[in-house]
Every structure is written in structure tokens, then in C-alpha cells.
Amino acid sequence: MTLGMNADRTLPGDWYPGTVPANVAIDDSAYVETAFSFLLFRGERADAVTIGHGASIYLGNMFDVGPQGRVVIGEYALVNGARIVCDASVTIGDYALVSWNVVLMDTYRVPVDVEARRAAVVRVPAMEPRRFAGDVPARPITIGRGAWIGFDCCVLPGVTIGDGAVVGARSVVTSDVAPFTIAAGNPARTIRRFTDEEMAHGR
């Protein structure tokens, strides 16, 4: 398998004819399946996305990164078909697993107030490109080292999921998950803490 990126910033064997943005750094040992993952990318920071040593970014991932967004994917992290909505910061730790259809969103991008939301939507038809972009604060998301996020989960703004934590499938994570715990549900709640023996194996 060929890893890394070609000199023209295309990806080896990519079905999509696009390129990886200049401000996206991919370690030579990392695997990114397709440049289509950057279709919604609007990052302006010099270090908008960093993909670490041995990391794997598979088909279906979408980096929906706003102008000031910063995404860091750690060493050997595996992200399989997630939507990363980032206007501030999303960090995925070393050895973390993020399953398919997971949404990591550090911002809602729409105002909570009904009148403000309506006014924002009314402005959309005049935009070019026609893409909603509200003035809504963003709060960083952190996924800890060795954490595992099950499929169809949604992680909301400001959440930290601790090292070694597991989040059950189809959970909505509205608050922090402690290290080496299992959480699940809507909203996600702690089910139990790992035993000392389990934690020893997970470090």
C-alpha cells in the first residue's frame, strides 16, 4: 500500500481528482484515502489540519473546517467515516478509534435564539457560495489517547472524552467523559469505570 501524498498533493490511487489543501500536513506514514474528504475545507490557518504518524483516515471522512479551525489527528489514530465540523479546535489523540458516521462538532453554526436563526437563514440565498455561516462561538473538542467512539455518535461543542474512554454506539455526548470509563445514551451517561486490570492493559 502506498502511503503519504504525491508531489502535486494528490493522493495515491485516489478516485477523486482533487488535491489536499496546502495547509494540511500528512505524515509520510499516514493513510488518507481520498482528497474528497476536504471538499468542505475552508481552513485559513497555516496548520489547519495535522495528521500524525501511522494515522488512518478512511473513505467517508469529511473535514468541514472553518477559517480559524484547527484539527489534530494523533499517531496511529483511526478515523473511519466521521464528519468533523471545526471552527475552533478538534483534537483526536494517539491510538484513538472513531467509528463510521460519528459527528464531532465544536460549534452549532446556527444561533440558538429563534429570531437570530431566522435572520441568518434569510441571508443564505444571497451568499456565494451558498453556504450557511453563522457568527456562533465554538468550543474545542478533545478525544483522548486510546479512546473509542462507537458508530453514529454525536460529540457536541466543548466536550472532552478522556484517555481510554469508550462511548457506546449512537450516543449523544453533551458533557465530558472521564478517562477509562464507558458512557452511552442520549445524553451519554457513565455506565461504569474500567477495572484496574482493564486500565493496565489500556495504557
DSSP letter assigned to residue 125: G
The answer to whether residue 1 is domain-embedded is: no
Any idea what the CATH number is for the domain that residue 118 is in? 2.160.10.10
Domain of 189, in residue numbers: 24-202
Average pLDDT over residues 30-55: 96
The span from the CA of 196 to the CA of 62, in Å, is 36
Mean pLDDT of the region 79-96 = 97
Kindly state whether residue 4 falls inside one of the protein's structural domains. no
The pLDDT score that the predictor gives to residue 122 is 86
- Evaluate whether residue 93 is within a structural domain: yes
Q: How many domains does the chain have?
A: 1
Q: Quote the pLDDT of residue 203.
A: 56
In a domain, 84, yes or no: yes
Mean pLDDT of 137-150: 96
Closest to 169 measured CA to CA, from 186, 193, 156: 186
Contact 73, 52 (CB under 8 A): yes
Residue 83 lies in a domain: yes
More confident residue, 116 or 58: 58
How far apart CA 82 and CA 150 sit, in angstroms, is: 11
Q: What is the reported pLDDT for 156?
A: 97
> Model pTM?
0.91
Residue 71 inside a domain? The answer is yes
**Chain segment 118-141, per-residue pLDDT in tens:** 888 888 888 877 776 667 889 999
Whether 63 maps to a domain, the answer reads yes
Instruction: Give the integer Cα–Cα distance in Å for 30 and 35.
Output: 14
* Predicted pLDDT of residue 117: 83
CB atoms within 10 A of CB 43: 23
Asked whether residue 198 is assigned to any structural domain, the reply reads yes
3-state secondary structure of 116: helix
Compute the C-alpha angle 51/181/70, nearest 5°: 25
Residue range 7-17: average pLDDT? 94
